[in-house]
Every structure is written in structure tokens, then in C-alpha cells.
Amino acid sequence: MNEDQRKIIRSMMVPFYLVLAMWLVKFYEIIFHHDLSGFGLMPLKPAGLIGIITSPLLHENFAHLFANTLPLFILASLIFYFYRELAWMTIILIWLMTGLWVWVFARGEYVHIGASGIVNGLASFLFCSGIIRRDNRLMSVTLLVTFLYGGIVWGIFPQLFPNKNISWESHLMGLLAGVVLAIYYRNAGPPRKQYSWELEEEDEEDEEPEDNDPSHTDGGNPDIRYFYKKDD
């Protein structure tokens, strides 16, 4: 196993345990018939503050849980792969900022649960960081995940899902949290990878063209020399 393979495996460890925690919570609810939605996020209610921490671990059903599992695992793994030094702080801040903003700005007597806000925050962080750093890898991978998981974008428009209890506030606040952190950490983390063709272009720009033709002068006209034979 080479170093890059080990790096990939290490990047998946924390996301794996995070996803495992969400599934264990759901199995606990089913096995013990214990509804934990009371630990969800209730906007502007003191009792709902605990939901800033606990709500991303709660899901309505297995369909809801499965919809968040793969994108969360993939995006969090990408964070740990590309930004290992910032990964922990980025995920924690997206988690807290999203929950706090939903608690402050969301309206209605609703209980917000699910990891969709964190998923959206990770996606927007990676995509915006890719734009800021001009890193095609990050933008390409994030766009692929967004394409496969369309709710990252469309989930912020509640009118598109009139018959579903979707927390569009969590989706929106997660997206904003990711953008804010991408800008804040724009000068932190690993530098953008430069490809061989980019390095070759820079070398060509640094090199000045040389004119080794002795027949040319600075004026651009040929230097004509006349050779003749002396009379004996």
C-alpha cells in the first residue's frame, strides 16, 4: 500500500464513524421504540438549543437517513483528504454555524432534524474553495456529488417540494456557512496543485527568445559584409 492509498483510507475514518453514529441512533429508535425527535432543533426556543448539536444525528426514516449518508461520507472524506489540517475545524464550524443560524432565523413551530445542512455546507465549502484556489479537482468532484445528490441545490427552494417537510432553512444556512468558511480559509490549507503543462507554460514565459543568427542586428536589417580579393 503506497502513501496515497493510506491517505485515502485515513481520510475516510472520521466520516465513517460520523455516518455510523447516525445509523446507530436510528437503530436505537427502532429497537427500543424511543422517538428522539425531542432532541431536534426548535427555532427560538431555549429547549431547542440542544438541537444545534444533536439534530444532524436524527432522521425521520431510513429513506431520509440513506439520502444523507453517501453525500456526507463522500464530502467529509474529501475535506479530510484535501484539507486535513482544517478538516476538524471546518466540519465543527459548519455544524455549529448551520444549527445556530437555523435556530435564529427559521420560523414556524417545526422541529428540524437531519444532516442535510452539514452536507450542503461541505459541498459549498469545497466548491467555493476550488473556485478561489482555481483547483479543478475540487470543483469537478463537488459538481459530480451535487449532480448525484440534487437536493444540495434544489433543497433551498421550498416551493419545489410543497408536500414534503423539507428544512429548506437548514439547506440554505449550510450553503452560506460553507461559503463563509471558504472565504475565511482562502489563504489556509494546502496550496493548489500545479500540473506539468502549467509549469511548462511558466518556464516558457520566463525564458527570453534568443536570436543566434549573426546576420540580424538590433535594427532588424541584415548586416551585409562584402568580401573582395585584393589585386596582387
Answer for the pair 48, 113: CB distance below 8 angstroms, yes or no: no
Per-residue pLDDT reduced to its tens digit, 100-151: 999 999 987 889 999 999 999 998 898 888 888 887 777 787 777 767 665 5
Q: Which helix (H) or strand (E) holds 16?
A: helix 3-31
The Cα 45–Cα 135 span in angstroms is 42
Per-residue pLDDT reduced to its tens digit, 200-226: 555 555 555 555 555 555 555 555 554
Query: 170: Cβ–Cβ under 8 A, 6 or more apart, which residues?
Result: 98, 102, 112, 114, 116, 117, 120
Query: Where do the domains of the chain lie, and which CATH numbers do they carry?
Result: 3-184 (1.20.1540.10)
C-alpha cell at 63: 429513506
The Cα 121–Cα 65 span in angstroms is 17
pTM: predicted TM-score of the whole model, two decimal places: 0.78
